[in-house]
Structure 1
Amino acid sequence: MLQGHYLAVLEARDVDEFRSAVLRFTQDIGFNTVSAVTVVEQHGQDADFIAVGNTPPGYEEAYQRVADSRRDPVLQHLKRQSVPLVWSQDTYLKTGLGDLWEEQAAFGYRTGVAMALHLPEGKHFLLGVDRDAPLPEDRRELTRIVADLQLFAVHAQDTALRILVPPSRQPERPALTVREIEALKWTMEGKTAWEVGTILGISQRTAVMHINNAMHKLDCATKHQAVLKALRLGLIH
């Protein structure tokens, strides 16, 4: 069922579509609020923070206070690690910050799962889902939720970088030939090299050559990575 969410967020064409995909995924895995934050560090300048989510209006001021963010144990974890964090009131009590939890709990932030992807060139993607209800006691169910969040984050960060990052900070788009783009498009549809060759009216060997050339230009080790990167860069849709 969640496969549709991964594809929807990957194919989002603008901020509204991206936000809608993130919110639908959040609700389907049983959470009320979500925050997807793209961070772009620039040498000698303040980092850019671009957030998408549904933070309650009354909590905006508290959410954006820098002083609190420097104390918040969840945010401090995300700054240093890529391992997902399952948090609750105990997370704050153990660090002597029960007051922060009390403040956010009034807005529905009582428990949640958060993770960060630290990417090359000073780019980071943070994704956190939160809710008022306790987290599942069944470890298998909780593990499944964390795994779903991790997989969704991998897809969402590609789109966030494509849509939210300023053009001046976007990676340079490699120049793929028409045949290389066509080969990637059909690979995205799950076609084998033989099928791609048949569709395009070329030999299987030539189809493999076009796919390999695209992988090389995109600096990817597999054709599946090449497809994802081509989607993120807007080379295929």
Structure 2
Amino acid sequence: MTPFFQDSIDTLMSSRSTEDVRFQLLKIAHLLGFENFAFGTRAPSLDSSPKVIMVNSYTDSWNELYQKNDFILIDPIVKKATFSTEPILWENELTESNDFCDAAKDCGLSIGWSNAIHKPNGASSLFSVCRSLESLTDKELNKISPYLYWVSNLAVQTLERVNNEYAGVVLTEILTPREIEILKWSSEGKTANEIAIILGISVRTVTFHITNSVAKLNACNKTSAIIKAVSLGLLDI
């Protein structure tokens, strides 16, 4: 690692705004042999669809084309990252001839590397670097992969620090341990009477906690509250 690269990492970690982070990530991408970077996050939300936020160094014309055509719905990199934590090489995925792949290649966005991070609270992020020329060789990947993994994790940490929208809801504060415990027993088919006996509390108290859980999760009933708690990583069944 060169002193200049370490300086860029240090500056990234002390960034104070999203624009500062964007500038430093682009500088680091250049140092690692790439032309552009992209970072996107999909954060869970209790009262709406998951919030998707992106920051990148792409041209305005590409970003506008991407949003206008809802390319996020057919982007093969995003699709694979949804279910994988393995590094993704773009040349292995951008093989079909369709609107997205053709447009990406026309814009010089065909050679790249991406890494997805999935968090227990249901939030996920995708960090990518790319260039228009020269395929990534095994030798180059062996050399730069440790730095790419490091930077992708730092991007998550730094952006969450400067802008809490990237972190999503603070799920640990949504339900109390008792509410989670009662939902757990409910998910196993236990009635309010049975849960009251198991926990040594009144049926009224059990019902009180279930009602609170349903309200906090913006659910319509106990069953939907359980489903939502599971999807947010609050409950294991």
Please classify the TM superposition score into its range, dividing by the shorter chain length: 0.5 to 0.7
CA 48–66 in structure 1, closer or farther in 2 if over 3 Å, else same? farther
Superposed displacement of residue 6, structure 1: 2.7
- The one-letter code sitting in structure 1 at the alignment partner of 2:93 is T
Percent identical residues: 20
Match of 1:148 in 2: 147
CA 65–76 in structure 1, closer or farther in 2 if over 3 Å, else same? farther
- The one-letter code sitting in structure 1 at the alignment partner of 2:34 is F
Distance 1:158 1:168 in 2: 13
Task: Point out the structure with max Rg over C-alpha.
Answer: 2
Instruction: Give 1:85's match in structure 2, choosing from 82, 85, 88.
Output: 88
Number of equivalenced pairs: 169
Distance 2:105 2:21 in 1: 27
Q: Runs ≥4 in structure 1, deviation > 4 angstroms? A: none
Retained in 1: the 8 A contact 2:44–2:169? Answer: no
TM-score after normalising by structure 1: 0.64
Unaligned runs of at least 5 residues, structure 2: 173-237
Superposed displacement of residue 41, structure 1: 1.1
Match of 1:217 in 2: none
Retained in 2: the 8 A contact 1:38–1:160? Answer: no
CA 100–66 in structure 1, closer or farther in 2 if over 3 Å, else same? closer
Distance 2:163 2:42 in 1: 10
Distance 1:72 1:33 in 2: 17
Superposed displacement of residue 4, structure 1: 2.7
- Asked if residue 27 in structure 1 is aligned to residue 26 in structure 2, the reply is no
Distance 1:146 1:101 in 2: 24
Distance 2:171 2:46 in 1: 16
Distance 1:168 1:73 in 2: 24
SS in 2 for 1:113: strand
CA 43–55 in structure 1, closer or farther in 2 if over 3 Å, else same? same
Superposed displacement of residue 148, structure 1: 1.4
Offset from partner CA, 1:152-199 (integer Å, 9 cap, x none)? 111121111112223983588xxxxxxxxxxxxxxxxxxxxxxxxxxx
Match of 2:106 in 1: 106
Distance 1:80 1:65 in 2: 25
Unaligned runs of at least 5 residues, structure 1: 173-237
Please show how residues 55-74 of structure 1 align to structure 2 within 5 Å: 55-65=58-68, 67-74=70-77
Match of 2:55 in 1: 52
Match of 1:39 in 2: 42
Superposed displacement of residue 131, structure 1: 0.8
Match of 1:15 in 2: 18
Match of 1:160 in 2: 159
